[in-house]
A and B are shown apart, each in its own frame.
Chain A
Amino acid sequence: MVSASRRTKRRAIAALRMLAALVLAGGIYALVSPGAQANQPGSLSAAAQEGRALFNNYCITCHGNNAQGVEGRGPSLIGAGSAAVEFQVETGRMPAASQGAQLGEKPPILKPDQARQIGQYIQELGGGPQIPFTGEQTPAEGNIAHGGELFRVNCSACHAFSAGGGALSSGKYAPSLEGSTDRQMYAAMLTGPQNMPVFGDNQLSPQEKFDIIAYVENLSSDTDSGGWGLGRFGPVTEAVAIFLFGMVVLTFAALWIAGKS
């Protein structure tokens, strides 16, 4: 015989089990299937919602609704990642003023924290590479000597030995790295903006990127002996400059002396 109290107890346990199973199933569903809701503002973080509002103001004309891109105007940003967005917006390259061979650096329209908000929005939309630190400075000290080696192998072909930049094809160019922040350089290496090749973490580990950044910062922190770096191309330009300018000056000085006597 089963007593009445034991039956009610069993029923209560069964009811609890049912409730637990329902909660678990619902929770798993909520975790596993966010896709359908991803584009709705409700599922975005607060920063991403701010970013979405900014995106709809500044970027939507070319990159389209939900950053899916507009044919002939701007590419889709799904999978671009926050690093790319932050780099493009923080350096003023985006929002672009016009189409051209290359979108150059210009005074930024949006503030860095706004850039991060848009980045967060794009990140939550489609994922992609992210900058693994939050500050403007790299979190770890870089090895300048090793960074120099890596810079000469990987970067100097386009950005020149002194990080002064150089020309590419058809009006494109590699910009000077002077004045770039740690964060911008890291983002550029990670995402390969415009025609720059991508240097993923398998090729240059985060620490190696820090090394390169330390080397570039070291270069830019230096002054030019004599006051004018001449593009920091080294002794060849310096000799050419002193030869050409010096010769012209001496010629005119000689002419002046001859004319006076």
Chain B
Amino acid sequence: MSDMDRFELVRRGAKQRDDVEIVHYAPQFAPGSKQEDRMVRIVSFLFIVSGLLGFIFVACYIWWPFTDFPDVTGWEYEPGNSWSKGFTPILGLTSGGALMVVGLAVLAWGKKLLPHEIVIQDRHDGASDPEERKLTGATLQFMGEEMGLKRRPLLKVSLLAPLGGLGLAALALPVGMMIKDPRHPNILFQTGWSPETNGGKLVHMVREDGVTKIRPEDISVGGQITAFPGIPGGVTNKYADSPVLLIHLRQDDADKLRASAVNYPINEGGMAGNLVAYSKICTHAGCPASLYEQQTNRLLCPCHQSQFLITDNAKPIFGPATRRLPMLPIEQDEEGFLRAKNDFNGVPVGPAFWEKPEA
């Protein structure tokens, strides 16, 4: 059968079986013409480039140094420029390039080397054939009955189990979030500063190493330090809600804060000299608010730009936070070390929750 005959067959088949009429079908370039040869060369060149890039990818993956080892001593990361810094980029460039070029090749093939054709297909009118619809309905019904739920009641009942179980599992998260954990009823109200965590003794303020106690003179005027509860595990995530920012205010700022405590009596007497400690946990979403501006006495939260005015009992003055940061009342012990008088005066730290008392 010659090529012409095959095309005729295809055309007739499309017309009779699928109602598709081929009205125009012609190659873009004359077969064997110069332009066609050129196009073929371009497409095969692109394929070869793509394959080459693929080989380069594999070669780089194997032989490109991906760490400075063994050029430097041991597995130590070495800053600065080195061949190893190019490892990831070269893999990305070669694999991405290979994929892009193969895409271009296929595109060029389809656009330039395949013949142009115009075909016409009539649209069907209205709904499907009634006979066909009947057939499809019967098939679906038959399949449903063949599952045999009517005849096998045990299957029907036992199917309820996964339905119920999975339904409950899906509900567990949204409903569970609204229930207070009955095994830790105090978890939202008690932090590491509570004497209960320290065998009834008042909790000292320590640095990030968990043992170095803090004295007032450790912090310069206009300085701040992050203090943790000096209890076992006080610097771990177990007490992630406990860190406070201990700030050494200037004399006039400290006077301003002391004077403003009348508007917020729960904080009265909470300062040790000119030092004041506020919870570091933002009352909006619980981020660590520790960007302290020592001139304006504002404390910023980096997550949503809430700002708290330290000299006005950490009142929120900008951003989404609506509650003040709780103050940790502090004092000096006999040896001069700072410790918490109580657990944030009973004010819960962090973001709001339903049972959170007004404060």
Q: Mark the stretch among B2-10, B182-190, B213-221 that contacts chain A.
A: B213-221
Assess whether B219 is in contact with A225, with CB atoms less than 8 Å apart: no
Assess whether A169 is in contact with B298, with CB atoms less than 8 Å apart: yes
Which parts of B287-337 form the interface with A (CB within 8 Å)? 288, 290-296, 298, 300, 302, 305, 307, 318
Q: Mark the stretch among B80-88, B148-156, B344-352 that contacts chain A.
A: B80-88
CA distance A157 to B294 in the complex (A): 14
Interface residues on A, range: 20 to 34
CA distance A197 to B290 in the complex (A): 11
CA distance A170 to B293 in the complex (A): 11
Assess whether A222 is in contact with B79, with CB atoms less than 8 Å apart: yes
Cβ contacts B202-239/A at 8 Å (1 or 0 each): 00000010000001011111111110000000000000
Interface status of B15 (Cβ within 8 A of chain A): no
CA distance A154 to B220 in the complex (A): 14
Which parts of A163-201 form the interface with B (CB within 8 Å)? 166-170, 172, 174, 192, 194-200
- Selected contact of B89 from candidates A149, A203, A226, CB within 8 Å: A226
Assess whether B79 is in contact with A221, with CB atoms less than 8 Å apart: yes
> Whose C-beta in chain A lies nearest to the C-beta of B318?
A169
Given contacts A195-B296, A197-B223, contact A202 B217 (CB under 8 A): yes
CA distance A197 to B88 in the complex (A): 40
Given contacts A168-B291, A197-B292, A223-B85, contact A203 B226 (CB under 8 A): no
Given contacts A202-B219, A222-B80, contact A166 B294 (CB under 8 A): no
Cβ contacts B80-107/A at 8 Å (1 or 0 each): 1100011011000000000000000001
Given contacts A166-B302, A169-B318, A202-B217, contact A257 B107 (CB under 8 A): yes
Q: Give every chain A residue within 8 A of B295 (Cβ-Cβ).
A: 194-195
CA distance A202 to B223 in the complex (A): 11
Assess whether A203 is in contact with B291, with CB atoms less than 8 Å apart: no
Interface status of B111 (Cβ within 8 A of chain A): yes
Interface of B is mostly: mixed
Q: Inter-chain contact count A-B, CB under 8 Å?
A: 84
Assess whether B302 is in contact with A198, with CB atoms less than 8 Å apart: no
> Whose C-beta in chain A lies nearest to the C-beta of B297?
A195
Assess whether A195 is in contact with B220, with CB atoms less than 8 Å apart: no
Q: Give every chain A residue within 8 A of B215 (Cβ-Cβ).
A: 202
CA distance A153 to B291 in the complex (A): 12
Assess whether B88 is in contact with A225, with CB atoms less than 8 Å apart: yes
A154 to chain B, nearest CB (A): 8
Assess whether B220 is in contact with A200, with CB atoms less than 8 Å apart: yes
Assess whether B219 is in contact with A168, with CB atoms less than 8 Å apart: no
CA distance A243 to B307 in the complex (A): 32
Assess whether B226 is in contact with A153, with CB atoms less than 8 Å apart: yes
> Whose C-beta in chain A lies nearest to the C-beta of B215?
A202
Interface status of A218 (Cβ within 8 A of chain B): yes
> Whose C-beta in chain B lies nearest to the C-beta of A190?
B220
Interface status of A109 (Cβ within 8 A of chain B): no
> Whose C-beta in chain B lies nearest to the C-beta of A260?
B111
- Selected contact of B223 from candidates A192, A194, A218, CB within 8 Å: A192
Interface status of A158 (Cβ within 8 A of chain B): yes
Known: A168-B293, A197-B247, A199-B223. 6 other contacts (CB 8 A): A166-B302, A168-B291, A169-B318, A192-B294, A197-B222, A197-B223
- A-contacting residues of B (Cβ < 8 Å)? 79-81, 85-86, 88-89, 107, 111, 208, 215, 217-226, 247, 288, 290-296, 298, 300, 302, 305, 307, 318
The 8 closest A-B pairs by CB, nearest first: A200-B220, A222-B79, A195-B293, A198-B223, A198-B220, A157-B290, A202-B218, A198-B222
Sample of 6 A–B contacts (CB below 8 Å): A157-B302, A166-B302, A169-B305, A198-B221, A202-B218, A219-B79
